[in-house]
Amino acid sequence: MTDRKIDEATGVPTMGHEWDGIEELDNPMPRWWLWTFYATIVFAVGYCIAYPAIPLLERATAGTLGWSSHRQLAEEMAKGQAAHASTLAALAKVDIATLDPKSPLMQAAVEGGRAAFKINCAACHGAGAAGTRGYPNLNDDDWLWGGSRAEIHETLMHGIRQPGNDATRMSQMPAFGRDGILKPEEIQAVVSFVRAASHQETVGGSARRGAALYAANCAMCHGTDAKGGRAFGAPNLTDAIWLYGGDREALTATVTNARYGVMPAWNKTLDAATLNMLTAYVHSLGGGE
C-alpha cells in the first residue's frame, strides 16, 4: 500500500489510488455488516454438520439430520403413491367396460393410462400411440380385434400370439407364396383384387381373376366382402388403413410370406388398475368404439 493521504473535506484516509482525479475514501464497514458476515459463517458450519457437505473418498459426510436427495425422492414417491392409493384401489375393482365415460374416475383412469402407456407401450406403438409399420395406430377407427373398452381390455390382458396363454389373440395367415399354395401370378391376381376392393385401382381382368382365388383362399378369415374378421384379427381390406402398406409391393410381400403381430400378455406384468387405466386411455384416443 502506498502512503495514504487524508481527504481534506471529510478527514477520512484514502485508499491510495485514483482514477481521473477521483480518489476512493477508506471508510470503515458498518459493524452490523460484520456481524451478518459472522452469522453466515456460523450458518455454514451448522449446515455442514447437519447436511451432507464434505466430500470423502467414497461419498460425502452423511450429516446429522440424515437427509439425502435419494431419501427425499423416495419419501416423495411414497407420499405420491399414498395420495393416489384410494383412486388406484377403486380403479383396480371397477369394471372399465361399463364405467361412465364422464365420471371423475374415468378422467383419472385416462390420465393414469397416459403415463402407463409411455412406460409400457410407447416402445412399439409410439409415444402418441400413432404406431408405425407393423404396429397399429391406436388413434384411428380401425381395429383388428375390436375397439370397445371390453375388447381393448381383453387384448391388453392376454396379448397377441403369446405361447402358453389359452386366451391369447391368435391370428394365423398362411404364407401363400412361400408354402406354395398360390403361384406368383395367382398372388398378383389376389393383390389386384384387394387393391380394387380398397378403391386403389379400377377393376380389371386381373382383379376379376383374383376374386375367385380370394373367395377360395381368403374369404374364410377376411370375409366374403373383404371387410375383415375380428375373431381372427383379420384386417379390413376395403378401408384406407394399411398396417404393412397398401401398395402392390407390400401387398405381394404380405400374401407371399404372411404377417403376424405379437404383443405381450400384460396381465403377467401389470396390475388390474394399470390395465384398466391403459384401456381407458387407448379408448379415449379418438377411435374407441
Q: Which is nearer to other proteins, 26 or 161 (CB)?
A: 26
The Cα–Cα gap between 10 and 24 comes to: 12
Q: Does 11 bind other proteins (CB under 8 A)?
A: yes
> 61 to 120, contacts with other proteins by CB under 8 A?
101-102
- Minimum distance, C-beta of residue 287 to other proteins, in the bound complex (Å): 8
Residues in the chain: 289
Number of residues that bind other proteins (CB under 8 A): 34
3-state secondary structure of 159: coil
- DSSP letters, 96-115, are TTTS-TTSHHHHHHHHHHHH
The Cα–Cα gap between 135 and 157 comes to: 18
Candidates 44, 77, 119, 127; binder of other proteins (CB under 8 A) is: 127
- Minimum distance, C-beta of residue 96 to other proteins, in the bound complex (Å): 17
Q: Which is nearer to other proteins, 129 or 211 (CB)?
A: 129
Q: Is 173 marked as binding a ligand?
A: yes
Q: What are the grid coordinates assigned to 216, written together?
A: 377360395
Torsion of CA 131, 137, 138, 141, to 10 degrees: 170
Torsion of CA 73, 75, 77, 83, to 10 degrees: -150
- Minimum distance, C-beta of residue 109 to other proteins, in the bound complex (Å): 14
Cβ pair 196, 203 in contact under 8 A: yes
> 199 to 258, contacts with other proteins by CB under 8 A?
200, 236, 239-241, 246
The Cα–Cα gap between 159 and 261 comes to: 10
Closest by CA position to 150, among listed 96, 102, 229, 91: 96
Q: What are the grid coordinates assigned to 161, written together?
A: 400370439
Q: Does 27 bind other proteins (CB under 8 A)?
A: yes
Candidates 24, 34, 119, 216; binder of other proteins (CB under 8 A) is: 34
Candidates 46, 80, 128, 134; binder of other proteins (CB under 8 A) is: 128
The dihedral of CA 147, 150, 152, 154: what is its sign? negative
- Minimum distance, C-beta of residue 244 to other proteins, in the bound complex (Å): 14
Candidates 20, 21, 31, 56; binder of other proteins (CB under 8 A) is: 31
Q: What are the grid coordinates assigned to 220, written together?
A: 374364410
Q: Does 137 bind other proteins (CB under 8 A)?
A: yes
Per the annotation, binding residues are: 121, 124-125, 173, 218, 221-222, 263
The residues binding other proteins (CB under 8 A) are 10-13, 26-34, 101-102, 126-130, 137, 139-142, 200, 236, 239-241, 246, 284, 286-287
Per the annotation, binding residues for heme c are: 121, 124-125, 173, 218, 221-222, 263
